[in-house]
Structure 1
Amino acid sequence: MILGIHDGHNASACLIDNNNNIRYAISEERFTRKKNQRGFPKYSVNYILNEIKKLDKESTIDIITVGGIFRKGNRLKALKNFQKEVNVPMVYFNHHLCHASLYKLSNFKECLIITMDGGGDALSSTVSIGNKKGLELLAQNDLIDSVGDFYASITEVLGFKPMEDEGKVMSLSSYDCVDESPINLKVIDYDSKRKSFENYLGIVGYEATKALKRIFNLNKNVDFKNKVLISKYAQKTLEDVVLKMINDFSKETGINNIVFSGGVAQNVKLNKKIAENYNLYVPPFMGDEGLSVGSALLFNNKKNKKTKNKEITLKNTYLGYEIKNEDMELLYNNDSNIHKNYKITYVEEEELPETIGNLIVNNKIVCLCRGKMEFGPRALGNRSIISLPTKENSEKINKMLNRDNFMPFAPTILYEHIDDYIINPSYSPFMTLLFDIKHENKNKIDGVVHVDNTTRAQTLKREFNKTYYDIINHVYENTNIPMVLNTSFNLHGEPIVCNEQDALKSFKSVGNALLLGNWLIEKI
C-alpha cells in the first residue's frame, strides 16, 4: 500500500490500497481545526493507519510518497522520524508534478495539463501533455512570474487573507460599479514567444502587496466600491493571461482537453471561461491538499506499468473520517446535557429522505454530518448545511455563520433537472464549475444565484450519494424545486467539521436540526 503525505500548506495524507483504490484522503486541518494547517499531518496519518489495522491487522505500508521536494528543519525531521517508525522507503516528488499527475483521474486519453498556484518547489505554473504514456513537460514559470501570487497580493491589498480568501476577490468581481471606469494597468501578462508569464513588478509576496497599494493609492481601509473595482481588474487580468496561455498551447498541440490543477483552479469564474472553449476537468482536490494524492499516483502509475493493474477511477470524494452510529450512542450516553437541550431520534436509513426532506420542505435549516468526510474544499452532502434555495434562507445562514454577505451560496441540483435551470449544463458532482442560470426560473432559487446570474452548482446523480439524492428528490416531489442550498458545515473561518464533537459544537450556532449519522438532533 502507498501512503501519500503532504506536509506544507493545507497538509494532508492519503492511502492507495493493494486493490488500486484511493481508500483514504484527509486534510490535517479537519483534525486540528486550524485552517490550511501546515506541517506533518500526524492526525490524518494516525487515523488512516488505525482504520486499516481494524480492517486487516496484517496490512502494511509498502512505501511513503511525499508531495513536494524542498524542505528543511523540523518539517524534514518529522518526515524522517516517521519513516524510521514505519521502516519503509520514502520518495519525494516535485510539487507541480504532483498537481499535474491528477490528470489520471480524468477520462481524457490525451490532455493539456495546466498547473498554477502561488508557488511550490521554485515553480508557479507548468504546462504538460498527459496521456497513457505519462507526462511530457512543455513549459514552466518560476516564482517571480507567478499568476497565483499576483491574485494573492490583490487579496491582501483588499484587506483579506492571502492563500485563503481569494474566493472573496472572485465574488466581489461580479458586482457592478456604475459610472466607474475600469482599471487599466499591466502588472502581469503572457508572452507567447517565451512561453512564459511576465511579472512587470519584478517582485512577489508582501513586497508586491506594498507596491500595488502604492499604485492604487491605498493608505487606509478600502471601501466597497474600490474593492469591487480592484477585484474586477484582478479577475479580468487572471482570465486574460491564463486564456492567452491555454489558447497558445492548444493551437500549438491541437489538444482541446484541458486538466486544470493547483490553487488557481479553485477560481470557478476562470474555470467557466476555460470551459466555454475547451473540454475541462478540474480535480476535486485541486489545491495543495491534493499533493498527497498526486505523489501517491505518481508512484502508483510506475507500479501499474509493471503490473498492468487497472487505472484508478475516482467515484466520489468521501474518503475521510467516518461517522459511525455506534460511536454516537456512546457519546449520547456519556453526555447528559445533550438530552436537556435537544430532541434526539434515531432514523432508519430508508426513512431519512422523507424525514429530512420534510424538514427542508417546512423551511428548516438542516446540518448533515454522516458517513465519510469529503476530501477537498467542497462539502458534497456528507458535511453540508442545506435548506430551500431561497434568498430568505441565504440571509439567515449568512447571519448564523457570521459570513460576508457578498459571498454567494451554491446549490445541489438533481442531474435530471439541470436543463430546466442551467444554461449549457454538464455533470459537475465536485462543484468545480460555474454555470449561468436561466432567467425564467431564477426567482424560484434566488438564494443560490450570484449577482452576475451564475451559480457554482453540484449536479448530482443518484449513484454519487444515494441518500442525499433521495432527500433532494423528496423536496422536489413536494415543492417542484429539484435542488437545495448547499454550503459547507462549518462556522466562517473554520475548517469543515470532521467528527461528532465538531458537528455538535457548530450546530449550536447554525441550523434547526442536525443529522449526525442516523441520529436526528433537533433544537427544542
Structure 2
Amino acid sequence: MPPYVVLGLCSYTHDSAAALLVDGELTGFVEEERLSGAKHTRAYPEHAVAWLLSEAGITADQVNEVAYNFHGLHYLRAVPTALGMLTNPATRERALMRAASFAKVGLRTVRRAQGLSRRFPHARIHPLLHHRTHQMYAFAASGWESAAVLVVDSLGEAQTTTLAVGRQPEPGRPVLHPLHALTDPASLGYAYGAVTEHLGWRRGDEEGTVMALAALGDPARFRTLFAHAIPITESGFALNPDHFAPRVLSSSHTRLTPRFTAETCPRRAPDAPITEAHRDLAAALQERTEQVMLYLACLARTRTGMKRVCLGGGVATNCVSVGKIIESGLFTEVFVPPAPGDAGTAIGAAAAVHLEGNASPLAGIAGACYLGPSFPDHPLDLAAWPGLTAHQVHGDPAESLAEHLANGQIVGLFQGRVEAGPRALGNRSILASPLIPGVVARLNDTVKFREPFRPFAPMVTAERAADYFTLGQEAPFMSMASGVTELAREQIPAVVHANDTARVQTVTKDGNPFMHDVLTAFARHTGVPVLINTSLNVKGRPICGTPDMALDCLANSGLDALLLEGRWITS
C-alpha cells in the first residue's frame, strides 16, 4: 500500500516553510530562508519542498494532501466590521480602504491555494484557518495529554488572539476545542510591530531588538499612554484608534496616528542615535505587552481550568512575557514550541489535515526541534574562500571545542540537522565563554554586527540549570526569559541582561548529546557549565542552513573558527 503523504506549507506571506508527514510521521521541516539565504522570505518554499521530497524518496505526484496555513475566504469576515468603521470619526478615513484590502487579500489567498494544485496534480488542497494551524502545532509539539492553548499574533485572516482546549485521548491524536477569539483590530502583534517600526527597526524582524532596548528605559514616562492605547477588556484587550490606525493590508499605510507621535516622539531613522525617549517608549510598550499577555493567561486558566498552557503565534516569541507567565504561577508548566511563529504552522497544517483523513497517529512532532537538512558527508572545498584553512581535529571534538572556548575563542558550530524556529539550539550556533572579559562587546561589534545593548543567551546543562537560573522548568528551545541566581550574577554576568533575566536554553543528554558533552567538558575546564549561544549568522542574514552559508559567515565576520561537521576551519 503506498504511503499517505501530507505536505504542510507556510507560503506567500513571510517566513516561508514546509513540513512533510508520511503515514503520520514528521520526516522533516525547514524554513526556506535557511536554504535560500533570503531572510523572512515570502516566496514559495522551493528549496524546502525539494529537500523534503528528496529526503523521503517521493515525487510531487505522490503527495496526497497539501495543507496550506491560511484560508482566504475567512479574510472576508473582516469586511463588514471594516464598513462599520464608517460611523466612527476616528476610523472613518480608513474604513473603505480597509474593507477593500481584506477582500483583495482574501481572494488572492484563495487563488494562491488553488494554484498549488499545479505543483501537486494528484493532491487535494486544504486551506486552513491560520490560528487552527498555530494551535495544532503548539499542542502537538508539547506531547501533553491536555492543556490550554493560547495563540497571540498580528493577524490570521481576521483573528488575532485565540484560546482553545487541547486534549489527546490517545497518543498521537490531539484534538482541539476552540473557546474564544479576538479579531482585528484588537491585535497585540500589530501594536508591537507598529512601535518597532516607529523606533527605527524592521517590523516583523526586529521586535526582539525593541524588547532588549526596553530593559534600559523607564516605562513610567509613557505608561498612561499605553493604558489608553491598549486597554484591557473583559474579553481580552483592544486597540484605541486614536493611537493605532486601523489596519489596511498594504505596507504603504502607517500603523500609528499623528496623535501617537505627538504624545511620544518623532519616528526614528534607522541610523539615528537612540535617545532616552526611545528607550522609555520601548520600556512602556514591553510593560504593556507583558500585562496583556499575563491577563490573557489568566483568562486561559480561568476559562479552561487547565494546569498547563501551550503558547503560539508571533507574540509568543516575546520571551520576557513568557517568563512573566511562568513566574506568575498560574500554570504548573508553560510550553512554547521551537517555531511558535508562522513558519511552524506548516507543521500544524500538515498535522491537522492528516488527522482528518487518516487513522494512523502522529509521530515525530512532540519535543522535536532538529528537523531540517544535515550535511554529514558534504565535500569540503574552500576554493571560494581563499582566506580559510581547514585543520584536522585531534581527539574528541567536544573536548577540543570546549578547550578552545575556555581559552577565549569565539567559534561557529555547524552540526547535525537544522533547527526549527528562530533560535539556534546548538546545531547552527556561535559559542563563546561567558567568563571572558569583554566577550559581549566583541560579539556585538565584530561577529554579529548589531546594537551594543542586545544581550546574549546562555545554554546550560539541565542538571545544573537551577544553580544559575530561577525558571523552575526546562527550557529546551530558548523561548523563556528566566530570573538569575546570585551565583549567575557573580560568575556569568555577561549573560545577565539589564532587567536581571536571561533567555536560557537547558540542554539534556538526550536532546543534544554533542552540546551536552561540550558543556560538560567546558565545566571541567572552568567549573561553569554555561556557554553563550547565539545563532550562526550576522545581523540581517538568516541562520546558516548550509555549509556554504556557514563558510560565508566565518569569512565575513570576526569568528575565530568554525567547527563544521567535525572539521576545524579558521580564517
TM-score by structure 1 length?
0.91
Partner of 1:446: 493
Which of 8, 13, 16 aligns to 2:21? It is: 16
Among all aligned residue pairs of Structure 1 and Structure 2, give the percentage whose two residues are the same amino acid. Answer: 25
Helix, strand or coil at the partner of 1:328: coil
Question: 1:246–1:423: structure 2 CA closer, same or farther, 3 Å change rule?
Answer: closer
Indicate yes or no: 2:131 matched with 1:96.
yes
Deviations 1:422-454 (A, max 9, x none): 124321111111111112332321221101121
Tell me how far 1:311 sits from its aligned partner: 5.3
Partner of 1:302: 356
Tell me how far 1:260 sits from its aligned partner: 0.9
Deviations 1:167-219 (A, max 9, x none): 111111112549x7453121112321xx2422122634544324422331426
Which of 19, 43, 47 aligns to 1:43? It is: 47
Tell me how far 1:30 sits from its aligned partner: 1.7
1:139 and 1:196 in contact (8 A); partners too: no
Partner of 2:414: 369
2:53 and 2:60 in contact (8 A); partners too: no
Separation (CA, whole Å) in 2 of partners of 1:252 and 1:204: 29
Which of 425, 436, 439 aligns to 1:380? It is: 425
Tell me how far 1:378 sits from its aligned partner: 0.5
Indicate yes or no: 2:287 matched with 1:287.
no
Helix, strand or coil at the partner of 2:366: coil
Tell me how far 1:498 sits from its aligned partner: 1.3
For residues 45-194 of structure 1, what are the structure 2 equivalents within 5 Å?
A: 45-53=49-57, 60-70=62-72, 80-87=114-121, 88-102=123-137, 103-132=139-168, 134-177=175-218, 181=221, 183-185=223-225, 186-192=228-234
Question: 1:77–1:517: structure 2 CA closer, same or farther, 3 Å change rule?
Answer: farther
1:67 and 1:94 in contact (8 A); partners too: yes
Separation (CA, whole Å) in 2 of partners of 1:188 and 1:310: 39
Separation (CA, whole Å) in 1 of partners of 2:246 and 2:558: 39
Question: Which runs of no fewer than 5 residues in structure 2 stay unpaired?
Answer: 73-104, 170-174, 248-252
Partner of 2:480: 433
Separation (CA, whole Å) in 2 of partners of 1:165 and 1:113: 26
Partner of 2:98: none
Question: 1:478–1:196: structure 2 CA closer, same or farther, 3 Å change rule?
Answer: closer
Separation (CA, whole Å) in 2 of partners of 1:69 and 1:234: 31
- Give the RMSD, CA atoms, in angstroms: 2.4
Tell me how far 1:302 sits from its aligned partner: 2.8
1:414 and 1:459 in contact (8 A); partners too: yes
- More strand per residue: 1 or 2? 1
Partner of 1:246: 297
- The residue identity in structure 2 corresponding to 1:33 is G
1:409 and 1:485 in contact (8 A); partners too: yes
Partner of 1:319: 371
Partner of 1:477: 524
2:198 and 2:267 in contact (8 A); partners too: no
Indicate yes or no: 2:74 matched with 1:34.
no
1:423 and 1:435 in contact (8 A); partners too: yes
Of 28-37 and 279-288, more deviation after overlay is shown by 28-37
Separation (CA, whole Å) in 1 of partners of 2:207 and 2:106: 28
Partner of 1:397: 443
2:33 and 2:41 in contact (8 A); partners too: yes
Question: 1:500–1:73: structure 2 CA closer, same or farther, 3 Å change rule?
Answer: farther
Which of 218, 234, 237 aligns to 1:197? It is: 237
Partner of 1:224: 275
2:467 and 2:487 in contact (8 A); partners too: no
Tell me how far 1:65 sits from its aligned partner: 0.8
Indicate yes or no: 2:506 matched with 1:506.
no
Tell me how far 1:137 sits from its aligned partner: 1.5
Tell me how far 1:81 sits from its aligned partner: 4.7
1:167 and 1:267 in contact (8 A); partners too: yes
TM-score by structure 2 length?
0.84
Separation (CA, whole Å) in 2 of partners of 1:521 and 1:265: 36
Tell me how far 1:271 sits from its aligned partner: 0.2
Separation (CA, whole Å) in 2 of partners of 1:433 and 1:190: 24
Separation (CA, whole Å) in 2 of partners of 1:81 and 1:251: 43
1:183 and 1:229 in contact (8 A); partners too: no
- The residue identity in structure 1 corresponding to 2:513 is K
Deviations 1:33-68 (A, max 9, x none): 222111311111112112222xx7899322111111
